[in-house]
Amino acid sequence: MSAPARLVTQCPDDILSQCAALMARQGYHGTSMRDLARTTGRSLSGLYHHFSSKEDLLYLINERGFSSLLGNAERLREEWRSRARAKPATAADAAALLRDLISAHVDYFSRHRSEMRVLMLGTQPMSPAHGEVVRRLKQRYSEVLSYAVSEYLAGHAPGTPRAEVERKAWLLFGMMNWIFGWYSVDELGSPRDLAGDIFGIFTQGCLAGSRAAATSE
Amino acid sequence: MSAPARLVTQCPDDILSQCAALMARQGYHGTSMRDLARTTGRSLSGLYHHFSSKEDLLYLINERGFSSLLGNAERLREEWRSRARAKPATAADAAALLRDLISAHVDYFSRHRSEMRVLMLGTQPMSPAHGEVVRRLKQRYSEVLSYAVSEYLAGHAPGTPRAEVERKAWLLFGMMNWIFGWYSVDELGSPRDLAGDIFGIFTQGCLAGSRAAATSE
DNA sequence: GTACCGACCGAACGATCGTTCGGTCGGTAG
DNA sequence: CTACCGACCGAACGATCGTTCGGTCGGTAC
């Protein structure tokens, strides 16, 4: 423990994202360790110096991605809660929280598209222990979003049933996640426009309530 | 060409869906031909009697799924067009078309969850020829949906820019598709409720226009 | 100097992969 | 009877898979 300090190595951050980029295109099982070694400019056994196994690599990508996403979301929620303690929150405040969460999500996705695509393609091939950690992160993240949705609905459409709140939160998730699964971000305009559209459609759509669905018949 | 008629065999319909069920859980590369042979109750070489290759099997699942989806959608659109020729279409008619398309989509997904999950996980490992066919089907399907969205917006929010129409159609796609990627249909209520929610959020959300997105700041 | 370190490599291991080949069996057709 | 057919199987092929092992090299620590 002396002069030059440890900044490189230790945790192979760039290697991880290079691997994620390849896995995003070919899938976990469709990408071999030899493929990953080649694109990271290392040898096969050199790659194993950084990760204990292929599954471990997948876990690290998942853990890192969801942790960042969750960190952003929980920070926004805490800021909102401390503001709410200072002075009572208005309905507009809840809308602002929801809008910030959507923006943060879309921004993060657009800046880490490969990693996010890996996260979306499923958790199946992970060990029970790793899978549990990732599942927990996923759930905590969706709980923050559900919380914001229910706070928003409490202010703008009070009395919405719990089941409907959750269903709508999931639909919001759908809008936020799907686009990056199929399409390129280049064809969709800026993340800012996209987040604005999602926020606009969701909030205005929720205001109309569920009874508005009966148009014909 | 005589008595008993050909109803079985020819095209292995049930085998296909059994294979899709396994691939939906493990992914294409994560499922071996031996796995597929075992779950279909056949031997490895017995399976190759029905499909020329593993990739061919993936293609058949994709082609079949998207063709059904597209068939339903184009039928609904043609019905609408012929009604529009009889008497001028109202704005409510366009909403009904959109609602029927969403219902058909959600219904089909809920009845063929495994196949649909395979379709959503990507097209990469297909040959150029097969990939092109599937890509064409996908595009035709999304064009029907975009058409309905633009017809709806023409009646309810005239003057919406083309790019915004497409972005909103994609967000609608997101709501329709995402839920079956992550969550089980059991927790989401009936397909009917779900389709109603999607239709309600989307249509009411679009009515508010894009300028409503500026709530704070 | 020697000792130890993390980063990295070439070569190989056993297992599993997609695919092929030769053959069996029950059922019409002539 | 023979000829032919689709459905199906066991056994094997070459290739590729994830992983391991022994070793090399440049750099501190003492």
Coil, helix or strand at residue B168: helix
pLDDT: which is higher, B205 or B138: B138
- Is A70:A144 a contact under the CB 8 Å cutoff? yes
Q: What is the mean pLDDT of residues B165-186?
A: 79
Q: Residue A111: count other Cβ atoms within 10 Å of its Cβ.
A: 11
Residue B38 lies in a domain: no
Contacts for B115 with CB less than 8 Å, ≥ 6 apart: B17, B20, B24, B61, B64, B65
Chain A residues with CB-CB distance to B153 below 8 A: none
- Number of other CB atoms surrounding residue A8 within 10 Å: 10
pLDDT of residue A124: 79
CA–CA min distance B9, chain A (Å): 32
Shortest alpha-carbon distance between residue B143 and chain A (Å): 15
Count of domains observed in chain B: 1
From B75, B51, B100, select the one nearest B203 (Cα to Cα): B100
Q: What is the pLDDT of residue A88?
A: 87
Q: Could you tell me the CATH number of the domain that includes residue A164?
A: 1.10.357.10
pLDDT given for residue A210 in this prediction: 40
Q: How far is the CA of B47 from the C1' of D9 (A)?
A: 10
Mean pLDDT over residues A15-29, rounded? Answer: 95
Q: pLDDT, tens digit, for every residue of A90-142?
A: 888 999 999 999 999 999 998 998 999 999 887 778 999 999 999 999 999 99
| pLDDT tier for residue A18 given thresholds of 50, 70 and 90 | very high
The answer to whether residue B41 sits within a structural domain is no
Please report whether residue B216 resides in a domain: no
DSSP string, B106-120: HHHHHHSHHHHHHHH
Residue B157 touches partner A, C-beta closer than 8 Å: no
Q: Is A71 on the interface with B (CB under 8 A)?
A: no
A&B contacts, CB < 8 Å: 167
Buried b (16+ CB within 10 A) or exposed e, A81-92: eeeeeeeebeee
H or E segment to which residue A104 belongs: helix A91-111
Tokens found for residue B149: 């969205």
- A213 versus A66: the higher-pLDDT residue is A66
Q: What is the pLDDT of residues B126-139, one digit of tens each?
A: 999 999 999 999 99
Specify if A34 maps to a domain.
no
Question: Is B180 within a domain?
Answer: yes
Q: Is residue B198 part of a domain?
A: yes
User: Which of residues A50 and A208 earns the better pLDDT score?
Assistant: A50
Structural domain that includes position A70: 54-209
Give the alpha-carbon dihedral of A15, A42, A33, A185, to 10 degrees. 40
Say if B24 falls within a structural domain: no
Q: What is the per-residue pLDDT across A186-201, written as a single tens digit (0 to 9) for each?
A: 666 788 888 998 999 9
Question: Does B188 fall in a domain?
Answer: yes
What does the pLDDT read at residue A148?
96
